[in-house]
Amino acid sequence: MSYFRAENLSLHFGGLKAVDAVSFAVEKGEILSIIGPNGAGKSSIFNLISRIYRPTSGRIFFEDQDITEQPPYDIAKLGIARTFQNIELFENATVLSNLLVGRHRHSSTQLWQELLFLPSVRANEKLHRRRVEQVIEFLDLEPYRDKLISGLPYGVRKVIELARALCSEPKLILLDEPSSGLNVEETDDMSFWIRDMKSELGVTVLMVEHDMSLVNRVSDRVIALNYGRVLAMGSPSEVQQHPDVVAAYLGA
């Protein structure tokens, strides 16, 4: 049984088939990239997994558990974290509190304990803070801890979003275009981090990406989509040479 599996996943908006009977599997510890032209349904698949959309039909399994009907907030509790294509950070809060929200799925304190800030809450806070610090160190975010998000440049925000997802100690992380809007150097950093996430933190990565050099560098396998359908699946070079994929990109 695969670690993560989508079976015949479909999302229809009226007559438009944004995602059409897509099936794929992610093995534990691999980096799988989804590529495809604009409007191919890549981000829609992510939104189906994190339950922002309800699938028209099809099922999603994670660790042999059917998660198709889980409410959105439970997806994160199961250990699936994500980033967004157009950064969704908590703008008017500091970097630290953004990252601490990432720890939300591990918080176990009750409201009345928090009102009194009992020693158990304090101990928990310190634990969360320590874990957040590990992520800060991992992604070199030390200069920004107490800065407000609204005052930070785009590239840094992108990394902070990744950091927030990592703070939840995910088993599976969904990266929606991690390199969009980043310059060459920042993209290089990102590719190293994605590989380190796999090797050091043991996170399984499912990624949507347009930058083919990044895809080639980090992916174990690639899926190519067009018009909501799977065109090809395999190693990065196999997929890039697949005649259907070439046709979809070049319009032959």
Partner 1 sequence: MRFLFKTDYEDDIRLFPHSGYVVSYGLLFAVLLIAPYVLSSYLMSQLVFVCIYATVGVALLILTGFTGQASLGHAAFLAIGAYTAAYLQKYNVPFPVYFLAAGVLTGCIGALVGFPALRLQGIYLVIATISFAFIVEEILARWESVTNGNEGLRVKALSLLGVTVSRDSPTFYFLCLAVLVLTIVGTLNLLRSPTGRAFVAIRDSETAARSMGVNVALYKVKSFAISAAITGFAGVLFAHKLSFISPEMFTLQLSIEFIIVILIGGTFSLHGAVLGAIFIVMIDPFLTYLKDDMPGVIAGIAAAFGAGTVTAGNIQSKVAAFASLNGLKGAIYGVIIMLFVLFEPLGLYGRWLKIKLFFQLFPLYKRATFKRQKIYVKSERNR
Contact 99, 163 (CB under 8 A): yes
> Which two structure tokens, joined as six digits, stand for 216?
């080639």
Residue 31, strand partner residues:
205
Query: Which positions ≥6 away from 2 have C-beta within 8 Å?
Result: 25, 26, 27, 61
**Residue 82 contacts partner 1 per CB under 8 A:** yes
Q: Is 82 exposed, middle or buried (0-12, 13-18, 19+ CB in 10 A)?
A: buried
| Residue of 21, 25, 67, 96 that binds partner 1 (CB under 8 A) | 96
Instruction: State the nearest-atom distance from the C-beta of 105 to partner 1, in Å.
Output: 4
| Residue of 1, 64, 111, 142 that binds partner 1 (CB under 8 A) | 111
Query: Which positions ≥6 away from 208 have C-beta within 8 Å?
Result: 33, 34, 35, 42, 43, 45, 46, 85, 175, 176, 177
CA–CA gap between residue 161 and residue 203 (Å, rounded): 16
The nearer residue to partner 1, 81 or 248, going by C-beta atoms, is 81
The nearer residue to partner 1, 81 or 224, going by C-beta atoms, is 81
Instruction: State the nearest-atom distance from the C-beta of 166 to partner 1, in Å.
Output: 12
- x/- track of binding to partner 1 for residues 11-50 (CB under 8 A): ---------------------------------------x
Instruction: State the nearest-atom distance from the C-beta of 79 to partner 1, in Å.
Output: 10
Q: How many residues bind partner 1 (CB under 8 A)?
A: 45
Q: Which stretch binds partner 1 (CB under 8 A): 10-18, 113-121, 183-191, 195-203?
A: 113-121
- x/- track of binding to partner 1 for residues 120-139 (CB under 8 A): -xx--xx--xx--x------
Instruction: State the nearest-atom distance from the C-beta of 133 to partner 1, in Å.
Output: 8
CA–CA gap between residue 24 and residue 80 (Å, rounded): 17
| Residue of 71, 119, 153, 251 that binds partner 1 (CB under 8 A) | 71
Instruction: State the nearest-atom distance from the C-beta of 100 to partner 1, in Å.
Output: 6
Give contact residues for partner 1 (rule: CB under 8 A): 50, 52, 71-77, 81-82, 84, 88-93, 96-97, 100-105, 107, 109, 111, 114-117, 121-122, 125-126, 129-130, 133, 148, 150-151, 164, 168
